[in-house]
Amino acid sequence: MSVTAGQGTPADTQPVLDIRGLCVDYGYGDTATHAVIDADLTLYRGEVVGLAGESGSGKSTLAYGATRLLRQPGVVTDGSVLFTPNSGARAAVDILDASPARLRALRWSDVALVFQAAMNSLNPVLSVQSQLTDTLAAHRKEMTKRERAERAGELLELVGISRDRLKSFPHELSGGMKQRVMIALALALDPQVVIMDEPTTALDVVTQRQIMEQIMSLRDRLGFSVLFITHDLSLLLEMADTIAIMYAGRIVESAPARQLFHAPRHPYTAALLESFPSLHGERKMMAGIPGSPPDMRRPPKGCAFADRCKFALPRCTDEQPPLAAPAIGSQDRQVACWLHAEDTLPERLSAPEPGSQPAGTAPETTGGSR
């Protein structure tokens, strides 16, 4: 790999969060909308996993379902979410089966969230300090008031805000600072997993870049794993180690970021990559993706992408393709597409993976790049 490898390399290959066969519905019975269908996602320790998809593809539902934060009428109907703590003393726990007490202990101290609308997630009538100490008071009862205040100051400095803003109210902070406070809040209890749902969407590009850098350097220092949810694939490609692409409630492809960028295997991924105009080179006409995503209340029978796919086969509209290893190249990645059951792949979907030897199987590169 030509990029500076090693920067984002996972410390070890032990999964910290393992989502298996997760299904989430909105509503019950025959009228239920299947928002997430049979999703598998593994988050290794210290890794940044990106989850990309269009609005309505189920990416946020997946994250909230997996942490049991989904409100009615959202129901998790199947699957397991295994959380493995890093200290050997505690056993792995299935979040979906955990008792309320166990769940309460686990939430925020092991798995924390940064919500989408950071601007509105802070309480407008409480100072930054009281919001930070409130979290500490609830989960760390042994701390004294002074220790909590001290820790709140540390947390602010951790995210690059000076300690004297502790007494500020949310309206006195800029959008970027509010987002940093949200990140500080998520890190208050030293979590092992941080789920970030579109954390930089409402921010300007420069602020977005600064916050992303901050998140990555904190990740390097504190060693937590990140599940990063966004619609902005171009941002993910720079930040994430592994990327999962969602379409119409299903994960259609997952692969290390570099491989996904240089050698997409699913037609949707390839088309999505061609939907972001480049900042370099010659200007070429780009077509985007024709059509629009399916209505999830009336999902198509076969592959949901079939009617927008330029490579669609007859069977695509009838049968759901399984998520499996691609026909060519590295076997560590997954793709759900019938084209991989054919003898030949279209040229666009058979590009060689970066760093792979032309003959043999590719040495796995999990190194991140940013």
Partner 1 sequence: MTDINTGTPAVPVVDRPRGEVVLEARGLTKHFKVRSRPQRGQRRTRGIVHAVEDVNLVLEAGRVTAVVGESGSGKTTVSRMLAQLTKPTSGQILLEGKSARSYGIKAYRRKIQMVFQDPFSSLNPVHSVRYHLARPLKLHKRAGGRDGTGKAVDALLARVKLDPPDQYIEKLPHELSGGQRQRVAIARALAAGPTVLLADEPISMLDVSIRLGILNLLGELRDQEKLAILYVTHDIASARYFADTMTVMYAGRVVESGPSLEVTDNPQHPYTRLLLDAAPDPERETPAVIQARGSAPSLISPPSGCRFHPRCPVAMPICSEQLPPDISVGEGHVAACWLRHADYQTNN
| 221 touches partner 1 by CB under 8 A | no
Q: Should residue 204 be labelled a site residue for partner 1 when binding is judged by CB under 8 A?
A: yes
Q: Which stretch binds partner 1 (CB under 8 A): 29-37, 87-95, 147-155, 275-283?
A: 275-283
Asked if residue 29 binds partner 1 (CB under 8 A), the reply is: no
Decide: is 205 part of the binding site for partner 1 (CB under 8 A): yes
Q: What are phi and psi of 75, to 5 degrees?
A: -135, 130
Residue 165 touches partner 1, criterion: CB under 8 A: no
- Based on the shown chain and the rule CB under 8 A, indicate whether residue 157 belongs to the binding site for partner 1: no
The Cβ of residue 217 has, within 10 Å, a number of other Cβ atoms equal to 11
- In the sheet that holds 48-52, the strands lie side by side as 111-114, 193-197, 225-230, 48-52, 242-247, 250-256, 334-335
Q: What is the DSSP string of 288-348?
A: ---S-PPPTTS--SS-TTGGG-TT--GGGGTSPPP-B--SSS-TTSEE--GGGGSSS--GG
Residue 261 contacts partner 1 per CB under 8 A: yes
# residues contacting partner 1 (CB under 8 A): 49
Burial of 287 (0-12, 13-18, 19+ CB in 10 A): exposed
User: Whole-number minimum distance, CB 204 to partner 1, in Å?
Assistant: 4
Residue 344 in tokens: 């030949």
Binding segment for partner 1 (CB under 8 A), chosen from 40-48, 107-115, 163-171, 276-284, is 276-284
Q: Which helix (H) or strand (E) holds 365?
A: none
- Give the closest residue to 25 by CA, choosing from 306, 269, 299: 299
CB of 65 to partner 1, least distance (A): 22
Residue 345's contacts (CB-CB under 8 Å, 6 or more residues apart) are: 327, 328, 339
Q: Does 176 bind partner 1 (CB under 8 A)?
A: yes
Least distance in angstroms from the C-beta of 347 to partner 1: 17
Residue of 68, 139, 140, 370 that binds partner 1 (CB under 8 A): 370
Among 27, 293, 352, 355, binds partner 1 (CB under 8 A): 293
Element (H, E) at 111: strand 111-114
Q: Does 217 bind partner 1 (CB under 8 A)?
A: no
Closest CA to 349 of 336, 366, 368, 364: 336
Q: Which listed range, 37-45, 187-195, 200-208, 217-225, lies at the site for partner 1 (CB under 8 A)? A: 200-208
In the region spanning residues 58 to 117, those forming contacts with partner 1, defined by CB under 8 A, are: none
Residue 294 in contact with partner 1, rule: CB under 8 A = yes
> Is 4 an interacting residue with respect to partner 1 (CB under 8 A)?
yes
Single residue of 78, 238, 332, 364 touching partner 1 by CB under 8 A: 238
Shortest CB 259 distance to partner 1, Å:
12
Structure tokens at 64: 């909230």
Q: Is residue 364 a contact point for partner 1 (CB under 8 A)? A: no
- 27 vs 160 by CB, closer to partner 1: 160
Q: Does 125 bind partner 1 (CB under 8 A)?
A: no
Choosing from 72, 89, 284, 343, the residue that interacts with partner 1 (CB under 8 A) is 284
Least Cα distance to 178 among 112, 115, 109, 107 occurs for 115
Closest distance of CB 290 from partner 1, Å: 4
- Taking the CA atoms of 339, 341, 345 and 351 in sequence, report the sign of the dihedral they define: positive
- Tokens found for residue 273: 């990559």
278 binds partner 1 per the rule CB under 8 A: yes
CB atoms within 10 A of CB 275: 12
Provide the binding-site residues for partner 1, judged by CB under 8 A: 2-4, 7, 54-55, 174, 176, 204-210, 213, 231-235, 237-238, 261, 271-273, 275-280, 283-295, 307, 369-370
